[in-house]
């Protein structure tokens, strides 16, 4: 079972084992990770699951869709490595994925 590492805005690290096929937002909410709200439940109608993907992992992710890019424009302080965690589906290849949580979601 792959593991995701969530690094909060203060540098604290939390890990969660995630079933393959589960998205990172679901993993965060199921494991009570503060900092990911997921208000829309993962249907790309908010940006409250915004994360910064650790740069060493960016190339291992599929490109963001146009709809995800549009939603990221609504995130607070988006960066080049910003993604919506609801759009990152866990695979065995993503075992060890590191995402950084923003200071705030909205």
- Please indicate, yes or no, if residue 9 is contained in any of the structural domains: yes
Nearest to 92 by CA among 21, 32, 40: 21
> What's the domain range around 86?
3-100
Structural domain count, the chain? 1
% pLDDT > 70, the chain = 99
Give the CATH number for residue 89: 3.10.20.30
**pTM for this structure?**
0.94
- Please indicate, yes or no, if residue 45 is contained in any of the structural domains: yes
**How far, CA to CA in Å, does 18 sit from each of 5, 34, 74, 98, 104?**
10, 17, 27, 13, 24
Structure confidence at residue 104 as a pLDDT band (50, 70, 90):
confident
Please give the pLDDT value at position 88.
Answer: 98
- Please indicate, yes or no, if residue 106 is contained in any of the structural domains: no
Please give the pLDDT value at position 61.
Answer: 97
- Please indicate, yes or no, if residue 89 is contained in any of the structural domains: yes
């Amino acid at each position: 079972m792959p593991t995701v590492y969530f690094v909060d805005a203060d540098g604290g690290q939390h890990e969660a084992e995630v079933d393959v096929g589960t998205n990172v937002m679901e993993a965060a909410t199921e494991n009570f990770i503060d900092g990911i709200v997921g208000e829309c439940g993962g249907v790309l109608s908010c940006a409250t699951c915004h994360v910064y993907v650790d740069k060493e992992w960016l190339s291992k992710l599929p490109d963001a869709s146009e709809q995800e890019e549009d939603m990221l424009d609504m995130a607070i302080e988006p960066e080049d490595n910003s993604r919506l965690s609801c759009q990152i589906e866990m695979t065995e290849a993503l075992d060890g994925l590191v995402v950084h949580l923003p200071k705030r979601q909205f």
